[in-house]
Amino acid sequence: MQTPEESRKRLAMAIIEYLDKAVADSLISTDGAESLEIAKQCISDAFELDLEDDAETKALSLKPFSLDKVFDVYMATQAKLESSNNTAGSSTDKAPVDATPTTNTASGPSDEDRMRADAFKAEGNSFVTQKNYKNAIDAYTRAIDLVSDTAVYYGNRAAAYSQNGEYEKAVADAKQALKIDPSYSKGYSRLGLAHYGLGQYKEAADAYTDGLALDPGNKGMLESLESAKSKLDASSVSDRAASPASPAAQSAAGSGGGFDLASLMSNPALMNMAQSMMANGGLESLMSNPSVSRMAENFRNTGQTPSMADMMNNPELMDMARNMSGSAGSTGNAGATDSGANSGSSGAGSNPLASLMNNPALMNMARQFMQGNNGGSGSQQ
């Protein structure tokens, strides 16, 4: 496959050869011929062509074809497309342009067929710039009908399919392009775009990664890869948040519905505890605890509530619970040391967290939930 620099040099050489042909066919005056000689020298200098190097000029030459013949094929194709559009009366319902191969040889498409296919590709590119993707798809299809061994034709049609919302077809074309030429980096870009359009973010990320292995500096693919990874991460968080409770947790809850938050919030002991904490400043003290703050931050970032097992196994939370429970022990005065506002209260009633930890109904619910979480932990990822 030619590099972009080689393609530019071949085009420059084709222009120089056409200028030579114009002079040889006496298409211009003598004064004009002298001007063309200057033009040829400027072109060769600009594109770093050595016109005295026979090997280089032969390698870059289009002969036996010439630029004017290529242009004639393009103009004929353009005329057929315009004629078919006028006959159909609509740009979306065109009569098919003849894309029948001129020859069927064992060696593959003829040079003339390849030139016609390139002309169809150019038409397709023009339609894409006009955002006329249906006609672009038709033009690329005609190019493929003539020459089916060129990855670029499939890659361009894949891009047009994606722009037209036909992502499954785009995936098929991108894969065919890569089958023809595994080094065609744009094929991976086309494949990634198609998978992204289908919501297949992992496959999209894989395709962009493979493309970047061939073209590491491609900013478009780098940005597309980051976008696919972002979508993939967001999808994973959403899936985890929406996953049903484990069978063990449902069984422990006794009703098949997992941990019943509604029942917990309607429990009188819990509501009394919450009111007490808000009244005596205990809630503010609880939220200032580093472990509680970390759990709250994690919930805001991921939408996941901490498991009861994690809370019960957290040394800081358990120390806080024991300290608060100890301060609300058998003597009423001990409870008053945590909060002067409750100096007249007794025992566990002076400490809302101790009340929670000592409430049999709530602790039973906690044990059931912890057992359910432990029973289902093997399926978490």
Distance CA(61)–CA(68), nearest Å, equals 14
Distance CA(161)–CA(176), nearest Å, equals 14
Question: In sequence order, what DSSP letters do the residues of 71-139 get, joined into one string?
Answer: HHHHHHHHHHHHHHHHHHTSTTSPPPPP---S--BTTBS-HHHHHHHHHHHHHHHHHHHTT-HHHHHHH
Q: Which residue has the tokens 């359910």?
A: 372
Element (H, E) at 182: none
Distance CA(183)–CA(2), nearest Å, equals 12
CB of 357 within 8 A of CB of 312?
Answer: no
Which residues have a Cβ under 8 Å from the Cβ of 237 and sit 6 or more positions away?
302, 303
What is the pLDDT, as a whole number, of residue 330? Answer: 41
> CB 210: neighbour CB atoms within 10 A?
18
Distance CA(249)–CA(260), nearest Å, equals 10
349 by Cβ neighbours in 10 Å (0-12 / 13-18 / 19+) ranks as middle
* Cα–Cα distance list, 150 to 1, 141, 155 (Å): 10, 12, 9
* Tens digit of each residue's pLDDT, the chain (381 residues): 567 788 888 888 889 888 888 888 888 888 888 888 888 889 888 888 888 888 888 888 877 777 777 787 777 777 766 665 565 444 444 434 455 555 545 567 888 889 999 999 999 999 999 999 999 999 999 999 999 999 999 999 999 999 999 999 999 999 999 999 999 999 999 999 999 999 999 999 999 999 999 999 999 999 999 999 998 888 766 665 555 544 444 444 444 444 455 555 556 666 666 666 666 665 566 666 676 677 666 666 665 556 555 666 667 666 666 665 444 444 444 333 343 334 334 444 445 455 555 556 556 655 554 454 444 444 344
Q: Tens of pLDDT along 69-96? A: 778 777 777 776 666 556 544 444 443 4
Structure tokens at 316: 């800081």
What is the pLDDT, as a whole number, of residue 331? Answer: 40
3-state secondary structure of 157: helix
What is the pLDDT, as a whole number, of residue 251? Answer: 43
Element (H, E) at 320: helix 315-327
Rg (CA), the chain: 37
Backbone angles phi, psi at 289, to 5 degrees: -70, 130
CB of 204 within 8 A of CB of 188?
Answer: no
Element (H, E) at 28: none
Distance CA(15)–CA(11), nearest Å, equals 6
The amino acid sitting at 304 is Q
What is the pLDDT, as a whole number, of residue 226? Answer: 93
Distance CA(118)–CA(125), nearest Å, equals 10
What is the pLDDT, as a whole number, of residue 69? Answer: 76
Backbone angles phi, psi at 16, to 5 degrees: -60, -40
